[in-house]
Amino acid sequence: MVSKIYLVLVVLSLTAMVGCSSLSNVGRADKYFAREEFEPAVRFYLKAVKNKQRDGILNLKLAEAYRRSNRIQLAEPYYKAALDNGVKREDTNFYYGMALRANGKYDEAATHLAQYLQIGANQKFLDQAKLEIQNLKALPTVLKNKLNYEVIPLDHINSEAADFGVSMAEGEIIFASSRGAGPTFKGNGQGFTDLYGFKPSISTDFLGTGSVRKLDNMLNLSGIHDAVATFSADGKTVIFARGNEGTRKGRQNVDLFVSRFRSGAWTEPRAPRLNSPDAWDSTPFLAPDGKTLYFASNRKGGQGGTDIYRSVLDASGNFSAPENVGAPINTPGNESFPSVGPDGTLYFASDGHLGLGKLDLYKVENNQVVNLGPEINSTGDDFALYPVSEDSGYFSSEREGGKGSDDIYFFRKSPIKRVDFWVDVKVLEQLQTGGGTREMADVRVTLLDAQGKRIEDARTPANGLVSFDLDTASTYSLLAERNGYFAARQAITTVGKTPSQASLTKPLTEIRLSATLTLNPIIKNKAIVVENIFYDLDKADIRPDAALELDKLVQTLRDNPKITIELSSHTDVRGKDAYNMDLSERRARSAVEYIISKGIEPARITAKGYGETRLVVKNAKTEEEHQRNRRTEFKVTKIAE
């Protein structure tokens, strides 16, 4: 008895310790969160949520810590858990949709944001949600807008830290990085950023070797961010952003600073009057004219989060009052990292325009904002484009496959002539009278890879035609589905269809393939013949040729998971009735056992032998007529709701 009491006390004690530990983790996380020290807040929230996975508020706090440290893609499961466990806040609904978008789950994001419009009341979120839904509808056009760029990581510069924001000064690549030893910025757990330089020792463009150096101490302070520098044409004047030492108000004390190279050293940086005392002013870029400065700011009077502004340097070296560049560039979202190419083209990053995920890169063309396409943009942050020419330059990205959280890449038009493959898919309905077909609208058509993983889907318009772009040397499946109809599937491949480079005459050649998918209505208890199911004389074993045909039926059952079928076997009239009945039952069972062996649930299929009781051709005389009677059929007996 004593031992049992002792055991109970130990269990209760451990339970209390777990509870206290969880509460302690939450309390510590809350304190960090209140100070906007999101990285330690995330660590303690993660510990706490292990013991309270169904705590909606706790999941929401963790999601917010991720979002506010620019990691909304990691917040997705925690926003969902918050909503699933009773959190009713409408900003949670909105940000969950944005997290889905940041992870490339575009259909889910559009669906959720559309649902949010039905319940939302905050006009700011409603306006953004409407804009996002509009953008998501148009996204397929961006995903197909491949401009034949090749993107190359700068392996001589990139590190495990954040590396971003290229500019050029006297042949040296200048960039920001959090790689240095020193204090950690508690907003994201990385080091504070400083300015570095890389000068290739061999002139081989972006592939040159060389060493990275930290810039002059006058341009880099400890325990504060120094980043995103822009230089005058002679390299003697630098404008850069400095601030955000990690306090709660840190983001408001980011300002632009100017320093000049005199007598062999940089002067102490000074803040020009164009800064706003209560705003975040950053990402400067001095245009090729040497006078126009573009930068981003969240000062009052803007159109949303951060907007792009410009200021002009006068003859006395003073900047004019900043001017908001307005629409169509600025949106209710965030615009930043402006730059200007040698030809005068304005580039910038934004999460408020039609894009693939978080920040995307854009250019302004004929007063229209143009997404730079999926070769440069990803679902992560893509930003800080530094144009070298109309078709080349540097940019920064947090895309998958990099060395660190942000990496620097070089892009240029590929010298290789490109081939783009497309498949045009026509969906038809099989008519039950007259034997004809007609174009079918509102059918979901899905493009699957060789492993059956969904790549993209679309719904057919009135003409029943949708198109997908395909990779070279790849194999796919096309699947058409609509309630009340058997799904239709067809394989498509580009393997062996790419012309040789020597035969291509244009930088881009488009090759269009075609496919037709015909949907048949599901009619209960209507017999459908499974063609070419043959058996050896007096045997019920599944022959290899019959297995190939039964595999098609297996695929039909997989593509139509709501149907239950009866598989039946039939004989001709030759032989005794009882023998034919027994043979047909054995053959039907054999076919069903084969199908079940392929993973189909036994409850979805039954075997039935009918012998010679259901002849298709009565009084058969020829071997062909007997063969029509010796058949295998299936019919749908049940359709699940």
The alpha carbon of residue 209 and the mean position of all alpha carbons in its chain are separated, in whole angstroms, by 34
> With contact defined as beta carbons under 8 Å apart, do 348 and 338 qualify?
yes
Same domain, 532 and 486: no
The 8 Å CB, 24+ separation contacts for 96-100 are 97/129, 97/132, 98/72, 98/132, 99/63, 99/67, 99/72, 99/73, 99/75, 100/76
Q: Where are the beta strands (DSSP E) in 263-413?
A: 265-266, 281-286, 292-297, 307-312, 323-324, 335-340, 346-350, 360-365, 368-371, 382-389, 392-397, 407-413
Structure-model confidence comparison of residues 183 and 466, the more confident one:
466
Q: Which domain holds residue 536?
A: 528-639
Are 192 and 324 contained in the same domain?
Answer: yes
Tell me the C-alpha distance between 145 and 131, whole Å: 21
Which of 483, 554, 548 minimizes the C-alpha distance to 519? 483
**Same domain, residue pair 53 and 159:** no
Amino acid at 476: Y
How many helices (H) and strands (E) would you count in the chain? Answer: 10, 34
What was the pLDDT predicted at 15? 39
Question: Which CA distances in Å does 630 have to 364, 580, 590, 595?
Answer: 69, 10, 15, 20
pLDDT the model gives residue 494:
95
633 pairs with which residues across the strands? 529, 568
Q: Which amino acid is at 193?
A: T
In a domain, 12, yes or no: no
Whether residue 300 is found in the same domain as residue 380: yes
Distances (CA, A) of 63 to 54, 59, 74, 121, 184: 14, 6, 8, 22, 22
3-class SS letters over 133-166: HHHHHHHHHHHCCCCCEEEEECCCCCCCCCEEEE
Starting at the edge strand found earlier in the chain, the sheet holding 632-639 runs 528-530, 632-639, 563-570, 605-611
Percentage of residues in the chain having pLDDT higher than 90 = 61
Cβ partners under 8 Å of residue 209, min gap 6: 156, 200, 201, 202
Do 488 and 386 lie in one domain? The reply is: no
Domain count, the chain: 4
The single-letter DSSP state of residue 85 is: T
Q: Specify the higher pLDDT residue, 57 or 16.
A: 57
Residue 226 pLDDT > 50, yes or no? yes
For residue 3, give the amino acid letter: S
Final residue of a domain: which of 395, 413, 431?
413
213 with 175: CB under 8 angstroms?
no
The CATH number for 438's domain is 2.60.40.10
Q: What is the pLDDT of residues 295-327, one digit of tens each?
A: 999 999 998 889 999 999 888 888 999 999 999
Banded pLDDT at 540 (limits 50, 70, 90): confident
Whether residue 335 lies inside any domain: the answer is yes
pLDDT number for residue 365: 94
CB 322 within 8 A of CB 309: yes
pLDDT digits (tens, 9 = 90+) for 349-373: 999 899 998 999 999 999 999 999 9
- Identify the pLDDT of residue 300: 92
Comparing CA positions, the residue from 345, 272, 343, 284 lying closest to residue 309 is 284
For the record, the structure tokens of 545 come out as: 């040729």
Please tell me whether residues 275 and 424 are part of one structural domain. Answer: no
Contact 504, 613 (CB under 8 A): no
509/572 same-domain check: no
Average pLDDT along the chain: 88
In a domain, 1, yes or no: no
End-of-domain residue from the set 490, 519, 548: 519
* Mean pLDDT (whole number) for 612-638: 88
81 and 32 co-located in one domain? yes
What is the structure's pLDDT at 137?
86
| pLDDT tops 60 at residue 577 | yes
Instruction: Look up the CATH number of the domain holding residue 66.
Output: 1.25.40.10
pLDDT digits (tens, 9 = 90+) for 493-508: 999 999 998 899 888 8
Does 9 fall in a domain?
no
Task: Provide the token pair at 205.
Answer: 């463009």
pLDDT of residue 596: 96
2-34 and 38-51 are packed helices; what angle lies between their axes, rounded to 10 degrees?
150
| pLDDT confidence tier of residue 11, bands split at 50, 70 and 90 | very low
7 has pLDDT over 50: no
For residue 335, which of 374, 304, 372, 290 has the smallest C-alpha distance? 304
- Is 383:336 a contact under the CB 8 Å cutoff? yes
Rounded distance, CA 115 to CA 122, Å?
14
Query: Has residue 342 got a pLDDT over 50?
Result: yes
Cα of 248 vs its chain's centroid, Å? 32
| Domain contains 378 | yes
Question: Which residue is it, tokens 């500019």?
Answer: 167
Count of CB atoms situated within 10 Å of the CB of 214: 14
Q: How confident is the model at residue 541 (pLDDT cuts 50, 70, 90)?
A: confident
Are the CB atoms for 352 and 334 separated by under 8 Å?
A: yes
Q: Are residues 120 and 180 in the same domain?
A: no
Secondary structure class of 207 (helix, strand, coil) = coil
What is the tens place of the pLDDT at every residue in 255-306? 999 999 999 999 999 999 999 988 999 999 999 999 999 999 999 999 888 9
Mean pLDDT to the nearest integer, 590-616: 94
% residues pLDDT > 70 (the chain): 94
Q: Which pairing describes strands 172-177 and 194-200: parallel, antiparallel, or unpaired? A: antiparallel
Rounded average pLDDT over 562-580: 91
- Please indicate, yes or no, if residue 364 is contained in any of the structural domains: yes
Two structure tokens written together for 142: 């961006």
Q: Are 476 and 515 in contact (CB under 8 A)?
A: no
Which candidate, 177, 281, 277, 185, places its Cα nearest to that of 239? 281
Which pLDDT band holds residue 2 (cuts at 50, 70, 90)? very low
Taking CA atoms, 96 is separated from 47, 114, 117, 134, in Å, by 22, 12, 13, 17
Q: Are residues 295 and 440 in the same domain?
A: no
pLDDT above 60: residue 20: no
Q: Does residue 2 sit within a domain? A: no
Q: Is pLDDT larger for residue 524 or for residue 141?
A: 524
Q: Which residues have a Cβ under 8 Å from the Cβ of 62 and sit 6 or more positions away? A: 42, 45, 46, 49, 75, 78
Scan for tokens 């395909």, then name that residue.
Answer: 470
492 and 373 in a common domain? no
For residue 205, what pLDDT band results from cuts at 50, 70 and 90? low
Q: CA nearest 100: which of 125, 74, 119?
A: 74
- Give the pLDDT confidence of 434-475 residue by residue, as tens digits: 889 999 999 999 999 999 999 988 999 999 999 999 998 999
CATH of the domain at 632: 3.30.1330.60
- Higher pLDDT, residue 626 or 497: 497
Domain containing residue 339: CATH number: 2.120.10.30
Phi/psi at 62 (5° precision): -65, -45
Q: pLDDT (tens digit, 9 = 90+) per residue, 84-112?
A: 999 988 899 999 999 999 998 988 999 99
Of 462 and 203, more confident = 462
Query: Which of 500, 519, 538 marks a domain boundary?
Result: 519
Q: Let me know if residue 4 belongs to a domain.
A: no
Q: Can you name the residues that pair with 611 across neighbouring β-strands?
A: 570
CB 243 within 8 A of CB 254: yes
User: What is the rounded distance in angstroms from the CA atom of residue 374 to the CA atom of residue 361?
Assistant: 10
pLDDT computed for residue 211 by the predictor: 84
Asked if residue 59 lies in contact with residue 76, where contact means CB atoms within 8 angstroms, the answer is no
Domain match, 317 and 366 both: yes
